[in-house]
A and B are shown apart, each in its own frame.
Chain A
Amino acid sequence: MTSNTTGVGFLGAGPVTQAIHLPTLARLGDTFHVASIMDVDSAVAESVAARVGARLTTSVDELLGEDDVKVVVICSPHQFHASQVIAACRAGKEAVLCEKPFAMSRQEAEEIAAVAEETGVHIIVGAMHTFDPGWTAAKANWDDLVATAHTIRYDVVLPPNPRFEDFATEVVNRPVGPQTAADRRDPEVAAAMVRGGIMGLAIHDLPLVRVFCPDFTDVEVLSCQVPTTGGYLVNLRVGDKAVRVTGHYTGSWEPEWVFEAIADDKSLRIDFTPSYVLAGSATAVLDFGPERHVFGPYDQSGYEAQWRFLAGVRAGDVQPLDVTELIHDLTFALEVADKAVESVRASAENMKDEARA
């Protein structure tokens, strides 16, 4: 029976909707049902809606006008996120779950903050690792690590997404990526690769980095490179913390997704499970010298925990997220991206000049 559960509507029905949210919601059938699917490609909307018995539309306005859609999930391309979050809030919905990033500029973020305050709509950004039970268990046990950590590492080695998507669902209309390797020595290509990598991949856990960087507005990029694998290698100073943020794309078999915070006498390492698959939670290891505390893995993934959090907010059981914190997460990510792009562009220009000379 769906009438007693909360209706969810999706704006955008690509791989994230198909492989992440629908399989996750299948585990939460006592709380949510998918009421409506919108995609600009009607064939995709039809295929995805049919698998969950939902209505389909190619119109954002039509979905936002549907009364039984109480929660709107925004999985459209990044450039549409902010306007769709604002439209969903103004349409009187109860909650909006927007895939990261929920805006692409500070101005957009401020507009969202104003609308959220005005309408009281709960906004959640799909940063699933911030909900991951491994992360939350570590947070409850890391003692003074936020204050004492001097080194922060955030490293992703990402095999092609289809390797995971195809075990989570049967994807229709998968976007096709570039078929030839771009020339990372070209300053504009390097700049685009770094911005895309940071706002598309690193964005996942920059909120975790920010937790350990209280002076998050004081960002200096010491270096930024595009590795031969594609991706980004960014060496930062954030306040007095040494921060290294790296991402690699590889066809090799082994995925890695690791966050670390290291102090003189304590350290945290979290190994996250790959995206797309519901492979349970991260495993967090807190080392306090000779003592080691291991948390997880738990059955619940960050995706599931994120949806359960949303259900808890609607039920009034948990405090909603502070939109100001979401804005800070976004502005921190934009600051890192802007400065990293500036750095990699300058390095590539220098190399070009040296080659000419």
Chain B
Amino acid sequence: MTQQVTVAPTTDARARLIIAQVVASLPVSLRSAAARSGLAAVTGDSWSRSGARAVEDGASGVMILAPGLALDTAALDEIRRAGVPVVVDTTWSYNPAVGSAAPHLMQLADEDASVETRVEAPAGSNLDEVALAQLGLVRSALGDIAEFRIERWNVHGYEAVGRLASGSDVAFSAILTNARRPHASIRLLTRRAAVRVELPDTGTATCGSVIVSDETGAVLLPTSFETAHRAAWRELHGRVVSGSTSSDFEELLEDIKMLTSAR
């Protein structure tokens, strides 16, 4: 029998809605409760201070949602000292398609591969949030990012170039529009092979797709109708139950530093 973990209340409206849907879809693993000692969701520019308060209150795990770039060093130290699992529920990283694609992408991602990633988000979106989510996606799918340089950044989106630690060049872009539903994509190309990942918005459980192709044909990997939010909370629940930690927290800090420095 799965061990049930409680989820603490939050004042953030977006987080409340996500939690309500996730708990409804993981009713055996999770339960909303008034107690502050369960899983805590923190969000926005004050996420690090909120996270520190949550672990002081006895949270058994922390979920970071849509974090801002502001960091409070003392609060970060407090979270680290607590040693509880921390998972980052960015828009795309926990989409199951990313996990399916990652081994194929990482196998090909060397200096002979060219990677492009693109995000489309609603007009008026916070570009810092969009960029952090995209960096998180690339890290989850392809590994560490060694370089990130912004070429254009305005109200319509951004273009950036970078390099993975594995040596592949990466072109990042974001386009803000209300014409289409939000989505993200990754395309890796080599002289002989390609991997294409298409990720739907987190608002529904529409499945992402991963197509791996070479000279012999193309294969669509099995699809999963699970939202990235549900998968992220499932990850946090699993880590709390097993007592393991995640690298999400330190990776988020690296991405924030990289983005802040590029801005």
Question: Which residues on A are within 8 Å of B, measured CB to CB?
Answer: 150-151, 157, 181, 222-223, 225, 227-230, 233, 235, 237, 242, 244, 246, 248-254, 262-267, 287-289
Tell me, in angstroms, the Cα distance from A228 to B151 when the chains sit together: 20
CA separation between A266 and B213, bound complex, in Å? Answer: 32
| Inter-subunit contact A254/B211 (CB<8 Å) | yes
Which residue from A157, A223, A265 sits with its C-beta under 8 Å from B194? A157
Give me the 5 closest cross-chain CB pairs, A-B, nearest first.
A267-B179, A227-B114, A252-B194, A150-B156, A264-B123
Please pick, from B171, B175, B177, B211, the residue contacting A233 in the complex, using a CB distance under 8 A.
B171
Task: Tell me, in angstroms, the Cα distance from A249 to B151 when the chains sit together.
Answer: 24
A242 and B192 form a contact (CB under 8 A): no
Give the residue name and chain of the B residue nearest to A227 (CB). Answer: B114
Stretch from B134-142, B215-223, B228-236 contacting the other chain: B215-223
B215–A252 CB distance below 8 A:
yes
B residues less than 8 Å from A264 (CB atoms): 123, 156, 176-179
- A254 in contact with B213 (CB, 8 Å): yes
B168: shortest Cβ distance to chain A, in Å?
8
With contact pairs A228-B113, A251-B215 given, residues A157 and B175 touching in the complex (Cβ less than 8 Å): no
Distance A246 CA – B161 CA, assembled complex (angstroms): 14
Nearest opposing residue in chain B for A286, CB measure: B179
B161 and A225 contact, CB distance less than 8 A: yes
Known A151-B156, A227-B169, A254-B213: A246·B116 in contact at CB below 8 Å? yes
Interface residues of B in 153-180 (CB under 8 A from A): 154, 156-157, 159, 161, 168-169, 171, 173, 175-180
CA distance A246 to B189 in the complex (A): 12
A267 touching B151, Cβ below 8 Å? no
- Across-interface contacts of A266 in B (CB, < 8 A): 179
Contacts of A227 in B (CB 8 A): 114, 169, 189
- A253 touching B114 by the CB < 8 A rule? no
Known: A222-B151, A267-B180. A244 touches B173 (CB 8 A): yes
Q: Report A-chain residues with C-beta under 8 Å of the C-beta of B192.
A: 250-252
Q: Within B36-78, which residues are at the interface with A (CB < 8 Å)?
A: none
B169 touches A254 (CB 8 A): no
B159 and A222 contacting across the interface, CB-CB below 8 Å: yes
- Report the nearest A residue to B151, measured CB to CB: A222
B196 at the interface (CB under 8 A from A): yes
**Which of B157, B173, B178, B218 is A253 in contact with, Cβ under 8 Å?**
B218
Q: Which of A151, A181, A223, A248 contacts B157 (CB 8 A)?
A: A151
Question: Is B179's CB under 8 angstroms from A288's CB?
Answer: yes
**Separation of A169 and B90 alpha carbons in the complex (Å):** 50
The residues of A that contact B111 with a CB separation of less than 8 Å are 228
B154 partner residues in chain A, CB cutoff 8 A = 242
Number of interface residues of B (CB under 8 A): 38
- Verify A157–B178 contact, CB threshold 8 A: no
| B152-A252 in contact (CB<8A) | no
Chain A: minimal CB distance from B200 (Å): 15
Task: Name the residue on A nearest B212 (C-beta).
Answer: A252
Chain B, Cβ-Cβ closest to A163: B215
Does B193 make an interface contact (CB < 8 A)? yes
Contacts A/B (CB < 8 Å), 23 sampled: A151-B177, A222-B151, A222-B152, A228-B168, A228-B169, A233-B114, A233-B171, A237-B152, A242-B152, A244-B173, A248-B189, A249-B191, A250-B190, A250-B193, A251-B191, A252-B189, A252-B193, A253-B218, A263-B179, A264-B176, A264-B177, A264-B178, A266-B179
* Smallest CB gap from B215: residue in A: A251
- Within 119-136 of B, Cβ neighbours of A (below 8 Å) are at 120, 123
- What residues on B are CB-neighbors of A253 within 8 Å? 194, 213-218
**Do residues B179 and A250 form an inter-chain contact, with CB atoms below 8 A?**
no
List A contacts of B250 (CB < 8 A). none
Q: How far is the CA of A285 from the CA of B114 in the complex (A)?
A: 27
Q: Which of B112, B176, B196 contacts A228 (CB 8 A)?
A: B112
B75 to chain A, nearest CB (A): 37
Contacts of A251 in B (CB 8 A): 191-193, 214-215
Chain A residues in 8 Å Cβ range of B112: 228
- Closest residue of chain B to A249 (Cβ to Cβ) is B191
Bound CA–CA A229/B189 (angstroms): 7
Q: How far is the CB of A330 from chain B (nearest CB, A)?
A: 27
- Report the Cα distance A254→B193, complex, angstroms: 9
User: Restricting to B173-211, which residues have a CB under 8 Å from any CB of A?
Assistant: 173, 175-180, 189-194, 196, 211
Give bound CA distance, A151 to B155, whole Å: 11
Q: How far is the CA of A151 from the CA of B176 in the complex (A)?
A: 9
Nearest opposing residue in chain A for B173, CB measure: A244
Distance, CA A229 to CA B180, complexed state (A): 30
CB distance from B178 to the nearest CB of A (A): 5
Are A252 and B151 CB-contacts (below 8 A) given A228-B190, A262-B177? no
> Looking across the interface, which residue of chain B has its beta carbon closest to that of A151?
B175
Q: Min CB distance, A36 to chain B, in Å? A: 39
> Whole-angstrom distance from the CB of A190 to the nearest CB of chain B?
13
B-side contacts of A235, CB under 8 Å: 151-152, 159
Q: CA separation between A204 and B198, bound complex, in Å?
A: 27
The complex places the Cα of A228 from the Cα of B120 at a distance, in Å, of 26
- Contact between chains at B179 and A287 (CB < 8 Å): yes
